[in-house]
Amino acid sequence: MVLRYLLSRILNNPEVIEKLSESYPIRRAAQITAYALQRGKVAASEALDSEASKRLQQFRQDFTQEVKEGFKKIEEESKTKNMPEGAADTVQTDAEKSTEEKKPKCKACCACPETKRARDACIIENGEENCTELIEAHKKCMREMGFNI
């Protein structure tokens, strides 16, 4: 209690605070603190810049892919217009196959949450061998979403 009283008297004295602030250890601690804060700001801005460039690059790749697919689709449609009726049917089935083989739009972990939840709960409660219907239902859903299972 006495020590607390002495420290509060010393630290509340403006003359003591001024002398401490002029001392080398306190100035050096302030410099190091300012340097660390500045480095943190620079690192944060660099991280944001790199994240933005990654997003921009991903956008460019997605855009390029969609444009290529659009041109392929237009090219296939123009081929069907110039072909006889029987040949057009085969081209349309090829186009349908290419859309089925298309990459899924979401990750496997996010696809078919309803069937996944039911399947997992059944496996935990009853074991894998007793849940074949739910497992097959989930596999069917995943295939419909575009995954190759």
Tokens of 131: 């849940």
Q: How far apart are CA 9 and CA 39, in angstroms?
A: 36
Contact 60, 48 (CB under 8 A): no
Can you say which residues are annotated as belonging to the binding site?
Answer: 109-110
Can you say which residues are annotated as belonging to the binding site for Cu cation?
Answer: 109-110
Q: How far apart are CA 114 and CA 137, in angstroms?
A: 10
**Sequence-separated (6 or more) residues with CB below 8 Å from residue 72:** 98
